[in-house]
Structure 1
């Protein structure tokens, strides 16, 4: 079903306008407003063959706080060259493609841009072979991709979130890492993937380690942000801890295919936004990967299926933007007022009414080997 472009397009094609409004209200919450984007950006996106979509979340006008409007950009894309092309050529081609898309993001006034999980390479971690894929790994502090993103950040006065395969040369360790680069061009820090999937053949634990960076939140000029990489979105406490550390926007760069997770995709980031009184940004790859190398291991994978894109942003009031296409490269530009976080927190008070001390006490008991569940029996 990779030809199916998007849920929104299908609804718009088949439902009468009045019914469509009600269906969208139930599925997506309060309608997000369309964000008018510069004609030059629209033309550039068309010239470079990627979808460009703009949306806006609104907050109530307050008496004591001015609006805190921020624009984020989510980029989803296919690989540019075949998976058997020389590695340096593949990386260089991806840099060039992303450079085109970030230029358009800058034209749209984006303050923070986030790319998809390990964006410089094919998602090849479950082909059951490590070579040549581990050769894509590079330093998070001074690798060519970080230097490339530093130049973008300085040129466009934009915070860049760059998820890569990281190599720690000192210890020989590989990590799935998001590098956060300030709009000054300096590396602000990095966030390593906390949760590693072990789902049948999707076992990434042989490629990189669970993260050791905890739940870091990065203070940027445009707000406090966090990066919950891919599989971490299935773990509510992972979102929760970023929120507890003060995140106002949590990015979830991912790489996931339709048969595995698509019914869960529209729910998890949106639920996290509601539960944690913050904005969440879900970014997924698009396209089908074909691996044509001479695979040596038994039953190695040549095709994982379709990476379904559908990147979107959710707000703490339960509303969400339409998703990007399931089949095309795309840039989603979203303007958000960060004041909405506290407004919704004051209304629903999920954090204020959370019984965290009680949870902490019970979790402390639950992780012990002598734990006895509290079950009342007749």
Structure 2
């Protein structure tokens, strides 16, 4: 199925589309970026969608524009889930390297991959031992070493969500952050874990223990709110209080688990907290055989970005690999904060007292 955005775009006339865009996206014009012909050619060759949009901030007298480009990658697995783990992972590496190369050619400076991007999302199977070799160290695991070379080569900050195995052998759902020199600079562990339907992530790892870190990179202050954390408003809030300008939400989610509000939660978080939000969801169908019973999970992609003023990009495809490139001006964060004053009127002290009473009656 094509994206909802394209379905609507192809059925409205010019004037109708302007009105729809103004209400739904927050602007009459989606401000599409003019991408290179080589980018378009590589996307056809690699069989992935590529789209680009921009968010514009007002020109200021005392501050220069703070413009950069972000890249979001959504993708399917490559090999069947019964193939050797090393082969599955290497096939994904090969696919992703080509897409990152295209992102670099378009001057992307911060790039984020989807949740547990190196593997199938086997957490729906109820099995653990069969998949344990996908777990890896955060600092020197195969995915970090692989992406570190690309980050250094392209002077790009890369966020790599993985299944982490720590020094004590414990598993975590973790996002590793690699700077533009190729160095590991830190990680965030998923704070909120689902136990919904066949997804019981608490059977695999514990909720994160690292709080709400914000990484002060060369290109901006970034944070990562992994998948299920988007359902928790206070999780978004804390990243904002800690100074984030951009919060990425890498995910692996299927239609039964909230496709109807996929386009809402990260968008409202951007508005409430005066930062950019970047939502990345995997695509494709993954099949597993458990005691001869087949489990099938299909992911709906639809990755998009929202600005602090509530304007958002169209989403990527529901069923194709894709690269979303967004050019933005970080000055917009403060401009919106000064205009709307949510921080000034937030009354956090009142909420803190009420929460403390609930927790410690």
What TM-score bracket applies, with the shorter chain setting the length? over 0.9
Q: How does 1:203-242 map to 2 (within 5 A)?
A: 203-242=200-239
Flag structure 1 segments of 5+ consecutive residues without an equivalent. 371-378
Cα distance in structure 1, aligned partners of 2:229 and 2:151: 26
Deviation at 1:247, TM superposition (A): 0.3
Structure 1 residue matching 2:124: 3-state secondary structure: coil
Aligned-residue Cα RMSD (Å) equals 1.1
Report the Cα distance in structure 2 between the residues aligned to 1:340 and 1:32, rounded to whole angstroms: 17
Taking the TM superposition and a 5 Å limit, the aligned residue runs for 1:297-336 are 302-304=295-297, 306-336=298-328
Matched with 1:182 is 179
Please, which of 146, 149, 154 is the counterpart of residue 148 of structure 1?
146
Closer, same or farther: CA 364–290 of 1 in aligned 2, 3 Å: same
Check conservation: 1:116, 1:255, Cα contact below 8 A.
yes
Report how far residue 43 of structure 1 moved. Answer: 1.0
Which stretches of structure 1, 4 residues or more, deviate above 3 A after TM superposition? none
After superposition, the C-alpha distances for 1:165-198 in whole angstroms (9 at most, x for unaligned) are 0001x32210000000000111010010000001
Maintained 8 Å contact 2:304/2:312: yes
Aligned to 2:346: 354
Asked whether 1:256 is paired with 2:253, we answer yes
Residues 1:48 and 2:40 are matched in the alignment: no
Which residue pairs with 1:11 in the alignment?
Answer: 8
Aligned-residue offset at 1:130: 1.2
Which of 175, 188, 191 is the equivalent residue of 1:191?
A: 188
Q: Please report the TM-score for the alignment, with normalisation by the length of structure 1.
A: 0.93
1:153 Cα shift?
0.4
Aligned residues: 360
- Match of residue 288 from structure 2: 291
Q: Which residue of 1 aligns with 2:90?
A: 92
| Partner residue, 1:133 | 131
Pick which of 239-248 and 36-45 moved more: 36-45
Is residue 277 from structure 1 mapped to residue 269 from structure 2 by the alignment? no
Following TM superposition, by how much is the alpha carbon of 1:301 offset from its aligned partner in structure 2, in angstroms? 5.8
CA–CA distance in structure 1, aligned partners of residues 31 and 147 of structure 2:
30
> Following the alignment from structure 2 to structure 1, what is the Cα–Cα distance between the partners of residues 189 and 132?
17
Q: 1:126 touches 1:301 (CA, 8 Å); kept in 2?
A: no
Structure 2: runs of 5+ lacking an equivalent: none
Deviations 1:214-273 (A, max 9, x none): 100000010000000000000010011001000000000000001221101000110000
